[in-house]
Amino acid sequence: MPFRILALGDIVGRPGRMVVHRKLAELVRTQKIDLVVANGENIAGGSGITQNLFHKLRSYGVDVITLGDHVFKKVDILPTMASSERLVRPANLSEGAAGRGHTVISTNAGVQVCVFSVLGRIFMNNLPANDPFAAADRVLATIPKSVKICVCDVHAEASSEKVAMGHYLDGRVSFIFGTHTHIPTADAKILPGGSAFISDLGMCGPYDSVLGRRKDRVVRYMTTNMPQPFDVATGDVRMCGAIAEVDPETGRAISIERVEIADGNADAAYDSDDKTPPANYGGGD
């Protein structure tokens, strides 16, 4: 039987969290999903993740949570990063960075899967990172040869960097997907070496927005250059990602298809325990 992996794009604020809460379980059941991987670095008020929100995502059915350039925005996540095998930060950060760059978990289907993340370097100014290609090589050299299925989240701004990483890892990683830009791409495919690939999963969050933030605030900033509070938006919330089928014996992908589930408008932009939202725009999400 093929092993089915669901990857969800960046979960943005309370709207993103709630659509996952409401829609994930049914999707897992109807699509017979064996593993759920989600990028959670924007879940806490649009930037970062907290221990409480990590545990909420796990309770909704997310098996492994990947992070990106906002990995350290909420310091209370640091103990969880040190202790949990279900949370991975980018593998190409400094050796002294908190957390783990990859994980190998055993699923309910009895299949072991490696999950890791790398951070792009082109137009990514929030968090300096080392060579993502070399970091991916180190991860793949570390995992046991008995682990046939491997998943990589390429958290990057430039499509060229994500596409290049896909070709670099083709045949060595089962499912390679891009996150960070919050816009779903139409290039889901099986690469020549047998890897499933998509440049960007999109986001789980409000699409009547600019990348999940209130469009009026972003437009005002872009037309006046005056700092604006970039509040999380609430309109047209969707859960976006992709499902890849993988042969558990070889680790080669069989198919990939996009997922996009609408959920109307959100009732609120922030959870009660969210801190003050970002004061102004400081780069990509």
Binding-site members for Fe cation are 10, 41-42, 69, 155, 180, 182
CA distance 166 to 244: 15
Asked about 21 being catalytic, the answer comes back as no
CA distance 107 to 123: 36
Contacts of 259 (CB under 8 A, 6+ apart): 6, 27, 239, 240, 241, 242, 243
* Sign of the C-alpha dihedral computed for residues 140, 192, 179 and 94 taken in this order: positive
Closest CA to 4 of 259, 260, 190, 248: 248
Residues forming beta bridges with residue 32, ordered by sequence position: none
Catalytic residue among 21, 55, 70, 167: 70
CA distance 226 to 173: 44
Q: At what angle do helices 13-30 and 51-60 cross, to 10 degrees?
A: 20
DSSP state of 264: -
DSSP state of 76: G
Active site members: 70
